[in-house]
C-alpha cells in the first residue's frame, strides 16, 4: 500500500544537506537534532506560524522524524514507506494518552538536495526525554511504579486495539513534558490478524523473546504475538530499577541473546538484580517466562490490574483466551496435588480414555514432570480459562484421563499452534476432595471419543 502523506513540504535550499537550526521544513523551523537510528533522524522544531501548522499555543515545540528514501534500493524505500504508513495508521486508529501523538506528515520536495528529496517526515509531539535518558540518574520507587504503570497502560491499549509494538525498549518510551509515559516509534509495529501477525525478522536483539531467535521465516515474515511486548516489558522493568542494567549477562547483544537461549532451554536460571523490589521482581519474572505459552497468562491488561491491586488477583473481562494461559511456571497453591491418576472413577456411566496433549514441543520431549510443563483443568468451561478458574491438581502431556461427556459450546480456546475449539471434555478427579470432576479443553488432546453431550449448562 503506498504511503499517503497528509501534506507536502519543501526544504529550504540554502542550507546544508543535514537539517540544521533555523531551516524550514514545511511549516516547521528546525531547532536541533534529538537523535538518530538506522531508518530516521529526529529533530526538534517549532512552528513557523502556528496558524499555518494547524497547532495552537499548547504545541510550542514538536519532533520531526525524518525518514530519507533517496539512494535506497526499491525494497528498502518500500520498507521505509511501510514503516511510516504503520505509524500513521496506528496513530489514526489507536489514539491514547500513553501513545505519542502524530500531528501530521509530509514528503519533502528538495530536487537540489538529493539526500533529502522524497524524505518522509512525521510530525510528532515532543517529549521531555526518553526513558533511556531518564535512567542515567537513579529513579525512585514511586516514580518507577508510575513509569511502569504508564508503559502497561500503553501496551494494554495497543494490544486491545489489535497491535503489537514489537520494538519496546527505553529508547522508544518517551517521558512527556507532563512527566507521563508515551510509547513511540511504531515503525516495527505489527497489526494482528487473530492471535498473531507477521513482520520482517527485525528488532533490537536485547529485547527479543527466546522464541524469536528460532522463529522460522515464512513468506510473510516471522510470527509476532503480544507476548513479544511482554518479554520486552520484563527487561524494561529490570532496567528501571537498576539504572539500565539488563538481566541477562554478556558483553554484546549477541552474547546476551545466547544467555537468553540458555535460560529458555532451562540450562540456566533467571537471576534478577537484588535492586529490583520483591513485587516488581515477581512481575518481571512472569514477563520473562521462557516461552510464549508461559507468558501468555500475563497480558498487559492483567499486569496493569495486578499493579493496581498491589499484586492481588483482579477480575478480568470475558474474552477468547489461549489455552496457554494455564501453562504456569509454578503451582501457586502450596501443597497442590500433582495428578497422575489414570484409573476409573467407579460411576455407573461408561467413560472413555483420553490422553493429554501439550502443543509445546519442548514440554513433550521432556520426560520429567516439571511444573513449567504442567497444564490446568478448568472448574467451569464457560468462564474465562484463567488461573482463578483452575482446580488444584495438574496434568502433563501423555496423562490418561477418564472423560464421561463433552460440552460443544464452552469458552473458545486457542493453543500454541493456533488450533481453536470451544469443545470441552468433563474428566474425573480422584474422589479424595469435594471437587470430583474438572474440564479439559479439546485443544489439549488429540483424541476424539464418542461421548454424550454434557447435561445442563455444562457445569459439574
Q: Is residue 3 part of a domain?
A: no
Q: How does the average pLDDT of the chain come out, rounded? A: 80
| 211, 302: one domain | yes
CATH label of the domain that carries residue 12: 3.30.200.20
Q: Is residue 359 part of a domain?
A: yes
Residues in the chain: 460
Q: Is residue 263 part of a domain?
A: yes
pLDDT in tens, 409-455: 988 887 766 677 889 999 987 654 556 889 999 989 998 888 999 98
| 103, 235: one domain | no
95-104, 165-174, 408-417, range with the lowest pLDDT: 408-417
| 32, 137: one domain | no
Q: Could you say which DSSP state residue 305 is in?
A: H
Rounded Cα–Cα distance for residues 118 and 280 (Å): 46
Q: Which residues contact 215 (CB under 8 A, 6 or more apart)?
A: 201, 222, 223
**Per-residue pLDDT at 321:** 39
Contact 75, 58 (CB under 8 A): no
Q: Is residue 2 part of a domain?
A: no
What percent of the chain shows pLDDT beyond 90? 38
In this predicted structure, the answer to whether residue 172 has a pLDDT above a threshold of 90 is: yes
Phi-psi region of 379 (alpha: psi -120 to 50; beta: other; left: phi over 0): alpha
Q: Could you say which DSSP state residue 171 is in?
A: G
* H-helix segments, 183-252: 227-242
Residue 270 binned pLDDT confidence (cut-offs 50, 70, 90): very high
Q: Is residue 414 part of a domain?
A: yes
CB atoms within 10 A of CB 82: 15
**How remote is the C-alpha of 438 from its chain's centroid?**
31
Query: Going by DSSP bridges, is the β-strand pair 375-378/413-414 parallel, antiparallel, or unpaired?
Result: unpaired
From the number of C-beta atoms within 10 Å of its C-beta (0-12, 13-18, 19+), residue 270 rates as middle
Q: Closest Cα partner for 204 from 257, 159, 242?
A: 257
Domain limit, last residue, from 90, 125, 160:
125
Rounded Cα–Cα distance for residues 446 and 435 (Å): 25
| 135, 55: one domain | no
**Per-residue pLDDT at 431:** 52
pTM of the model: 0.62
| 146, 270: one domain | yes
What percent of the chain shows pLDDT beyond 70? 80
249-253 mean pLDDT: 92
Rounded Cα–Cα distance for residues 155 and 233 (Å): 9
**Per-residue pLDDT at 134:** 96
Return the sign of the alpha-carbon dihedral for residues 77, 81, 82, 86.
positive
| 67, 166: one domain | no
| 197, 303: one domain | yes
Q: Is residue 93 part of a domain?
A: yes
**Per-residue pLDDT at 230:** 97
> Which neighbouring-strand residues pair with 154?
none
Rounded Cα–Cα distance for residues 297 and 292 (Å): 9
- Cα atoms in the 13 Å half-sphere on the side-chain side of 439: 28
Domain limits at 443?
A: 320-460
**Per-residue pLDDT at 67:** 85
215-239 mean pLDDT: 87
Rounded Cα–Cα distance for residues 31 and 8 (Å): 20
3-state SS class at 334: coil
Domain limit, last residue, from 314, 337, 361:
314
| 296, 219: one domain | yes
In this predicted structure, the answer to whether residue 112 has a pLDDT above a threshold of 80 is: no
**Per-residue pLDDT at 433:** 54
Q: Which residue has the cell 531551516?
A: 23
In this predicted structure, the answer to whether residue 344 has a pLDDT above a threshold of 50 is: no
Contact 441, 342 (CB under 8 A): no
More confident site: 180 or 117: 180
Q: Is residue 250 part of a domain?
A: yes
pLDDT in tens, 49-98: 766 655 555 567 899 998 888 777 777 778 788 888 888 888 777 788 99
From the number of C-beta atoms within 10 Å of its C-beta (0-12, 13-18, 19+), residue 117 rates as middle
CATH label of the domain that carries residue 200: 1.10.510.10
Phi-psi region of 78 (alpha: psi -120 to 50; beta: other; left: phi over 0): alpha
**Per-residue pLDDT at 435:** 61
| 344, 382: one domain | yes
**Per-residue pLDDT at 47:** 85
Q: Is residue 1 part of a domain?
A: no
| 356, 297: one domain | no
Query: Going by DSSP bridges, is the β-strand pair 41-47/62-67 parallel, antiparallel, or unpaired?
Result: antiparallel
Rounded Cα–Cα distance for residues 81 and 381 (Å): 46
| 310, 379: one domain | no
pLDDT in tens, 278-334: 999 999 999 999 999 999 999 999 999 999 887 444 444 333 334 333 333 333 333
Residue 17 binned pLDDT confidence (cut-offs 50, 70, 90): very low
From the number of C-beta atoms within 10 Å of its C-beta (0-12, 13-18, 19+), residue 267 rates as exposed
Q: Closest Cα partner for 460 from 413, 386, 415, 410?
A: 410
Structural domain count, the chain:
3
Domain limit, last residue, from 291, 314, 337:
314
* H-helix segments, 296-434: 300-308, 361-364
| 17, 85: one domain | yes
Amino acid at each position: 500500500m503506498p504511503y499517503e502523506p497528509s501534506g507536502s513540504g519543501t526544504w529550504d535550499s540554502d542550507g546544508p544537506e543535514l537539517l540544521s537550526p533555523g531551516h524550514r521544513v514545511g511549516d516547521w523551523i528546525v531547532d536541533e537534532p534529538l537523535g538518530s537510528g538506522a531508518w530516521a533522524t529526529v529533530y526538534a522544531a517549532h512552528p513557523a506560524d502556528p496558524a499555518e501548522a494547524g497547532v495552537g499555543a499548547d504545541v510550542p515545540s514538536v519532533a520531526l522524524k525524518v525518514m530519507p528514501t533517496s539512494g535506497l534500493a526499491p525494497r528498502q524505500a518500500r520498507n521505509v514507506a511501510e514503516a511510516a504508513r504503520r505509524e500513521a495508521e496506528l496513530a489514526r486508529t489507536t489514539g491514547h494518552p500513553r501513545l505519542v501523538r502524530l500531528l501530521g506528515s509530509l514528503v519533502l520536495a528538495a530536487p537540489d538536495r538529493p539526500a533529502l528529496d522524497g524524505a518522509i517526515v512525521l510530525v510528532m509531539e515532543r517529549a521531555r526525554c526518553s526513558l533511556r535518558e531518564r535512567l542515567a540518574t537513579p529513579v525512585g520507587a514511586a516514580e518507577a511504579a508510575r513509569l511502569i504503570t504508564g508503559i502497561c497502560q500503553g501496551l494494554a491499549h495497543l494490544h486491545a486495539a489489535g497491535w503489537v509494538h514489537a520494538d519496546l525498549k527505553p529508547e522508544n518510551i518517551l517521558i512527556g513534558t507532563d512527566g507521563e509515559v508515551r510509547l513511540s516509534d511504531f515503525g516495527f509495529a505489527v497489526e494482528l490478524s487473530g492471535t498473531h501477525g507477521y513482520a520482517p525478522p527485525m528488532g533490537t536483539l536485547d529485547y527479543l523473546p527466546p522464541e524469536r531467535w528460532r522463529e522460522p521465516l515464512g513468506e510473510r515474515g516471522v510470527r509476532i504475538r503480544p507476548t513479544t511486548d511482554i518479554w520486552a516489558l520484563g527487561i524494561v522493568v529490570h532496567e528501571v530499577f537498576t539504572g539500565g542494567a539488563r538481566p541477562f549477562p554478556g558483553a554484546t547483544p549477541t552474547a546476551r541473546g545466547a544467555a537468553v537461549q540458555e535460560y529458555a532451554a532451562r540450562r540456566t536460571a533467571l537471576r534478577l538484580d537484588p535492586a529490583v523490589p520483591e513485587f516488581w521482581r515477581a512481575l518481571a519474572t512472569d514477563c520473562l517466562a521462557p516461552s510464549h505459552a508461559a507468558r501468555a497468562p500475563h497480558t498487559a491488561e492483567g499486569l496493569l490490574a495486578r499493579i493496581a491491586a498491589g499484586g492481588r488477583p483482579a477480575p478480568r473481562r470475558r474474552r477468547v483466551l489461549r489455552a496457554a494461559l494455564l501453562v504456569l511456571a509454578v503451582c501457586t497453591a502450596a501443597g497442590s496435588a500433582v495428578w497422575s491418576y489414570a484409573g476409573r472413577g467407579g460411576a455407573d456411566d461408561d467413560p472413555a480414555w483420553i490422553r493429554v496433549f501439550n502443543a509445546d514441543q519442548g514440554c513433550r520431549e521432556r520426560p520429567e514432570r516439571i511444573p513449567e510443563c504442567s497444564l490446568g483443568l478448568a472448574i467451569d468451561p464457560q468462564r474465562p480459562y484463567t488461573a482463578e478458574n483452575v482446580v488444584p491438581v495438574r496434568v502433563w502431556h501423555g496423562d490418561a484421563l477418564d472423560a464421561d461427556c463433552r460440552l460443544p459450546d464452552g469458552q473458545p480456546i486457542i493453543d500454541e499452534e493456533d488450533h481453536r475449539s470451544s469443545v470441552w471434555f468433563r474428566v474425573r478427579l480422584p474422589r479424595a476432595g469435594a471437587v470430583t470432576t474438572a474440564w479439559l479443553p479439546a485443544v489439549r488432546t488429540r483424541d476424539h471419543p464418542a461421548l454424550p453431550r454434557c447435561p445442563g449448562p455444562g457445569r459439574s
